[in-house]
Amino acid sequence: MTPINISLLLFMIGLYGVISKNNLIKKIIGLAIINASVVLFFIAIGYREGGLAPIMSRSEAVDSANQIFVNPIPQALMLTAIVVSISLTAVALALVVKIYSKYKTLDVQKLYEE
Amino acid sequence: MLNHLPILIIIFPLSIAFIILLFKKYIIALSTFSILFSLASLLKFAPSVYKGQIISYHLGGWPAPLGISLLIDSLSFFFALTVLLIGMMVIIYSIPDKKYNHNYYFLLLILLSSMVGTIFTADIFNMYILYDLVAIATYLLIAYYQHGVALKASFNYLLMSAVGLSLFLLGVGSLYAMSGTLHIASISEQLPEIFAHNPQIIIMSLVLVITSMGIKMAMVPLHGWLPDAHSLAPSPVSAILSGVVVKVGLYCLIRLIFGLFSTEKILVNIASHYILMVFGAITLLFGAMMALTQTDLKRMLAYSTINQIGLILIGLGFNIYSGFEGALFHVLNHALLKSALFFCAGIIIKTGSKKIKELAGFGKKNPVVAFCFVILSLGIIGIPPMNGFVSKFLICLAAIEAGYSILALVIIFASLITAAYYFRVIQIFYSEPIQPNSNLPNIDVAENSLFWDKYFRLWPIYILTGFSLMLGILPSLGLLLIRPAVKILLLNIIK
């Protein structure tokens, strides 16, 4: 099982959580799993077998001409995506706090009965 | 300074937003000024854009495939102009309401600037980031009054659109894995070669992009968030949501399908335009049917948005010149008409109830707003002196030209349903109220507040109505704006 397959499996687990759980907090956990799976997907794209972290060094210990490096761009992209997903989670939790203070419940079924 | 104008259009309102949040002074003046600045600097590009030049700006001086770049061509110019114009009107409309404090203008400016950023960017990952910024500002604006129902609607939208954006990011990832770049034009160049080796990945990313943008612009099986979110938001926010936020999803779809995926062979194999056409027809009919059954005025307008989005999708699906022309013209027309209709609805709701049944006698109490509402709804239905007619006519012509006469019939049928639900509202406006006594005190209060709000609340409606009438009487003016954009779309299809 490659990391890419695992990330897609995680995506499906997250989607299942968002769709089928009744508790709003669990739905947000599902969203967080989805975002984490996308991060894993990107990191898996950039990974190379036996690659080093792509840091330029002037020392002789690392022979940068023959050494394999992992692709740094997906990692840089994922720093941004993690920030976005954190702020998304924060907004979602803020909304849930407000919903709870109005309705005193987090159950979707009860929320939509009202 | 002048070289950096493309990025200033985005950065200036964004930084003003934070200044407003920190200092809480001169809120309205600063936000108006920043949007006017963006509008003016955008218009400065108009002559060169309409000569057919493509202005690209590289952030930090790094050239295109390596660095982040912005791109202003006639398509993005047209969409950005629509966004900023409606945004300006929304700011003017929200001035008299004291409930809108610095937080509101902060979110509004972030929304507008990130929408312009989404439109200008030439890089799919930046498109994702900026679209997420649009989405976060939208969730908070929908829940601005913190009513229970609005909070629920906002949370519902958050769940759907966050999943949609993750799907989009997955699509971006698979495109990046195959091509090794994020720049739209560079991916598009490499696409035929990749498609020859593994077509599945390209099809998967196309499906992911269509699904995510379908959620964003409420294509029918994915529309669940729209009626709640658009009807429960504050009225100026509903206007900007229906008028332009939905159109930004449409822009991303157009940019990616016709700019990235539409190399000749791929279009033939995947036939993405059939997807647009079929889902467009479903969206059109479903939106019209559901709007017919609504009892709440703003909810009816929200379903009417779904209806018109379907029409635009059908126009894009034909893949011929007049279809694109009609679809893009309808984007502009719908933005003008629907945001003005939501402005009217904001005034109408203030005079009494949200229910359509209880609006009887509004036409006599407030003849000007009612008259504007009538004119605007004639535009949405598509009755000749208005701009909606021109774009619907162009799309119907394109349907016959492309050989799908049945779709022309579907469009006309949906227009009939549209006429049915708008005429119902208009008829109630001019009928006698059933119980005049119970409504009286309400209306008196409302008239008083209308007197004070008159200039700021009514002028946006007049301006937008005037624009739509002008585009209806002189459609060549609007088509002048749109034809260069259509050329950009056709550039990749016909080679």
Domain holding A96, by residue range, is 3-49+69-113
The more confident residue out of A38 and A2 is A38
Distance between CA atoms of residues B262 and B250, nearest Å: 16
Per residue in A37-82, pLDDT tens?
999 999 998 888 887 777 777 666 666 667 788 888 899 999 999 9
Q: Are B93 and B239 in contact (CB under 8 A)?
A: yes
Q: Chain A: give the shortest CA distance to residue B361, in Å.
A: 32
Name the residue among B132, B154, B170 with its Cβ closest to that of A95. B154
* Cα separation values, B338 from B101, B176, B309, B332, B460, Å: 25, 37, 12, 10, 12
| Residue A23 within a domain | yes
Q: Are B248 and B79 in contact (CB under 8 A)?
A: yes
Across the interface, whether the CB atoms of B173 and A38 are under 8 A apart is answered yes
CATH of the domain at A29: 1.10.287.3510
| Residue A95 within a domain | yes
Name the residue among A18, A35, A45 with its Cβ closest to that of B173. A45
Which of B155, B86, B430 is CA-nearest to residue A91? B155
| Residue A56 within a domain | no
Mean pLDDT lowest among B50-54, B144-148, B283-287, B332-336: B50-54
The answer, yes or no, to whether residue B111 has pLDDT greater than 50, is yes
Please state, rounded to an integer, the average pLDDT across all residues of chain B.
Answer: 87
Distance between CA atoms of residues B415 and B421, nearest Å: 10
How many separate domains does chain A show?
A: 1
| Residue A75 within a domain | yes
Name the residue among B140, B148, B169 with its Cβ closest to that of A91. B140
| Residue A58 within a domain | no
The answer, yes or no, to whether residue B278 has pLDDT greater than 80, is yes
**ipTM confidence:** 0.93
Across the interface, whether the CB atoms of B158 and A95 are under 8 A apart is answered yes
Q: Are A61 and A21 in contact (CB under 8 A)?
A: no
Name the residue among A11, A42, A91 with its Cβ closest to that of B158. A91
| Residue A12 within a domain | yes
How much is the average pLDDT of B22-46?
92
Question: Which of A45, A47, A107, A108 would you mutate first to test chain B, the one with the most B CBs within 10 A?
Answer: A45
Distance between CA atoms of residues B440 and B37, nearest Å: 44
How much is the average pLDDT of B198-202?
85
Contacts of B125 in chain A (CB under 8 A): 77, 80
Q: What residues does A107 pair with on adjacent strands? A: A23
Tell me the residue type at B368: V
The more confident residue out of B361 and B122 is B122
Contacts of A99 in chain B (CB under 8 A): 148, 151-152, 155
Residue B440: per-residue pLDDT:
46
| Residue A92 within a domain | yes
- Confirm or reject contact between B163 and chain A (CB < 8 A): yes
Name every residue in A having a CB less than 8 A away from some CB of B: 11, 15, 18, 24, 27, 31, 34-35, 38, 41-42, 45, 73-74, 77, 80-81, 84, 87-88, 91-92, 95-96, 98-99, 102-103, 111-112, 114
| Residue A61 within a domain | no
Contacts of B143 in chain A (CB under 8 A): 95, 98
